[in-house]
Structures are given as structure tokens and as C-alpha cells.
Amino acid sequence: MTSVPFDSTVALLREGYPFVSARCDALGTDLFTSRIALQRVTFMRGAPAAELFYSSGHFTRRGAVPPTVQHLLQDKGSVQGLDGAAHRHRKHAFLAVMGPDAMPGLGDLFEQEWRAALQRHDDDRFVLNDLAEEILTRTACRWSGIPTDRVDVERLTRELSLMVGWSGSQGPGNWYAQWRRRGTERWAAELVEQVRRGELAPEPGTALRVLAEHADENGEELPSELAAVELINVLRPMLAIARFITFAAVALHENPKWRERFAAGDVEDLEPFVQEVRRYYPFFPVVPGRTVDSFTWDGHRFDRNEWVILDLYGTCHDRRLWDDPEAFEPERFRGWSWDDDPYSMIAQGAGDHAGTHRCPGEWSTVELLRRAVVLLSTSGLTVPAQDLTVPLNRFPTMPRSGVVLARG
């Protein structure tokens, strides 16, 4: 029988994404307390837990994210570490850059870069994840107002990829990624300073321009190092969309009826397909927070400063919310809208985008996945025999082969 160990570190690392749900199912609960690295932690899953975690005001991200993860992902001083009015003010800047209106332009840039990359790389076979990371780095730079002559694309792609790939690991790989990140931060801070000195003039509304000119809620310009961290918080997750693109390629390969429909120009279910990719495949397993006060919820007394981990993957696979959650069924998203229920489809966070820590990059993710799915479906590229299994005990994970595609 599944039980909750005194310390869950080993079980979590061994079982990976399903760890929290398996315990909740076995115990008939949505909440249990254990330890990680001997620190007491409360795990939660499900839509009501997501609402509590994102929208009640009882939680902060401060002191919740392990430093090895934090330095490679959002980093200190960034929007994710802010609360209340300061958070809403900074978040507004992100939403101004990457709201729905900006999506057609972003998608068009991505398509241009995709076609150009497939012409540049004329190998018979290539690894989709690697190519998509390069395409997304170029797209993200152009879209953010960074002139391509100020970018060593190969190097930046490598640095951003290390940040994503090693964010969930401890040890030398993580340290190396942190060391390489310092170079990215210096480069990004120099771009911010060039804008401030008037040596670079990115288009209004681009991330580089908006962040370089951003003043905090007290009217103070962000230190250039912090504006650089926030610029990286646009570039790095854009590259991370490559993982969803590899999952989309696997979904098309394993469910050829969808590929045939999209290839024939029938795109009515394109959005449902993309939403199902985000729900079904594993990306960020959980998100950690700390309570800012003490309160009781669902019979559990939360102490102030309690460490709490919300299960994103388990909520996206919760059979009370999704019929047959382990089946890939885009049809379930027909007629679905973002506003229907902001606490069930939580692969990229929950709640209202402006007022919570929900990901402001969701529209970008959906737009680029839509474009990639059509490009993949119409490409004539084939999927040779390879290992497409997805290890569930690697964070973040992806198909083992990275998805090899072949021409002809």
C-alpha cells in the first residue's frame, strides 16, 4: 500500500510527477504533510487547493523556492518573488508585452524563423528539441527588440537551455548552469544600459524597451541587473516551449488522425489539441509557496511560514476534473475558454493573470504551439524508430530522444 514516508525526498525523486497524486489517492485526501530534505512540507492538489494557493492571499513565493531552482529560473527580485501592489505593478509590465494582442506578430516571427532554420540545417535527420530551441531563441530575441547582431545565438541558446534543463537538479550540472547564467545576465544588463544611454532604440512595446524603461511602484527605475533578470524571464521560458513542441510532435505521431486533419487544413480543433498537449504532458510538476499567516482550511491548520507545495501535474490529471485523464483527448477542450475555470487547467499556474502569479506567457505558449503543430503536420517530416518514452522522474522532462525527425 502507498504510504507517506517520514521524509519524502527519495520517493519524490524516484516516482517523480505522480508522487503527490499517488499519495492523495491512497489516503483519500487532497492534502498531506511530510518532509523534503527533513523540512516539514504540506502537499496539496486539486482545484480548491489551487484556488487557495493562488487567490487567497495566504501565500508568498518568498523563501519557498530552493536556491538551486530559483537562480536558474525566476531569480531574486523578479516578479515571482513580489507580493501585493508591487507584484501587480511589475506584472502589468509583463502583460503589456505578452498579452493576446501581441500574439499574431509573435507567431509570424516564429514561422519565419522555423522556415529559415529548416533551410539552414539541411541534414537528413535532426533533433527537434535542439532545432526548436534555436528557433525559439531567435524568435524571442527579435520579438523582444534585441537586434540579432548583438546576439551570439548559439551561445545564448546553450545558456538558456542549461537554465531550463538543470533547474530541477542538484549538483555539478546545476552549478555549471548557474555559472553560465552569469554571462547571460551581464549581456542582458549591457543591453538594458545601452537602451538607457540611447545607443539602442528597440520598438515601443517590446520586452527590452518596456523593461529598460520600467519604474517600480515608487517611480524608481529598476537596477539594470534586475531589468536584465526580467528580460531573461522572457527569453528563457520562450526557449522552454521547445519541450512542449517535442510533446506535440509525439502526440501527432501517436495520434495520426490529428496530423492528417491539420495537414488537410482542418484547424477547427487546433486550439483544443494544443490545450490538451499542455494538460496531458508533464512540464512543471509542482509550485512551492509559504504561508504569510496562520489559518484553517479543509480541516488543516496552516501555521505561518509553513512550506506548501501545490501539485500542478496531479491537478491536470485529477479524474474529478477530467474524464479519463490518462487519455490524450483534445475533444475535451472543445468550447473551453480561459475564463471557464481558472483552477483546473493549471499547467502554467492558476487564477487571474493580472492578480496572481499565473504565467503571463500562456498566450505565447499556445500561439507558438498552434503554429508549430501546423508546421509539423504539413512538413512531410517523418519520425524514425527511436525512444520516445518520457521519464517521469526527471524535472523538467521530455521524450528521451529529444524527438528525431527525418526528411523524406
Q: Which is nearer to ligand HEM, 314 or 349 (CB)?
A: 349
Ranked by CB distance to ligand HEM, the top (closest) residue is 361
Binding mask 359-388 for ligand HEM (x = CB under 6 A): xxx--xx-----------------------
Binding mask 333-362 for ligand HEM (x = CB under 6 A): --------------xxx-------x-xxx-
Q: Does 61 participate in binding ligand HEM (rule CB under 6 A)? A: yes
Q: Does 165 participate in binding ligand HEM (rule CB under 6 A)? A: no
Q: Which is nearer to ligand HEM, 79 or 405 (CB)?
A: 79
Q: Which is nearer to ligand HEM, 105 or 265 (CB)?
A: 105
Q: Which is nearer to ligand HEM, 308 or 378 (CB)?
A: 308
CA separation, residue 153 to residues 239, 256, 269, 294 (Å): 12, 34, 34, 48
Span interacting with ligand HEM, options 233-241, 269-277, 299-307, 315-323, rule CB under 6 A: 233-241
Whole-angstrom Cα Rg for the chain? 21
Among 128, 238, 309, 369, binds ligand HEM (CB under 6 A): 238
Q: Which residues of 313-339 are buried (b: 16+ CB within 10 A; e: fewer)?
A: bbbbbbeebbeebeebbbebbeeeeee
Nearest approach in angstroms of CB 272 to ligand HEM is: 18
Binding mask 174-203 for ligand HEM (x = CB under 6 A): ------------------------------
Instruction: Let me know: does 13 contact 38? Beta carbons within 8 Å.
Output: no
Nearest approach in angstroms of CB 167 to ligand HEM is: 11
Q: Does 283 participate in binding ligand HEM (rule CB under 6 A)? A: yes
Q: Which is nearer to ligand HEM, 79 or 270 (CB)?
A: 79
Cell (9 digits) for 343: 483552477
Among 234, 383, 388, 404, binds ligand HEM (CB under 6 A): 234
Of residues 306 through 325, those in contact with ligand HEM by CB under 6 A are 312
Size of the site for ligand HEM (CB under 6 A): 26
CA separation, residue 93 to residues 60, 79, 229, 375 (Å): 20, 10, 14, 31
Q: Does 231 participate in binding ligand HEM (rule CB under 6 A)? A: no
Q: Does 80 participate in binding ligand HEM (rule CB under 6 A)? A: yes
Nearest approach in angstroms of CB 51 to ligand HEM is: 13
Q: Does 252 participate in binding ligand HEM (rule CB under 6 A)? A: no
Among 94, 110, 302, 328, binds ligand HEM (CB under 6 A): 94
CA angle, 47 as apex, 44 and 52 as ends, to 5°?
Answer: 65
> Which residues are near ligand HEM by CB under 6 A?
61, 79-80, 91, 94, 98, 233-234, 237-238, 240-241, 244, 283-284, 287, 312, 347-349, 357, 359-361, 364-365
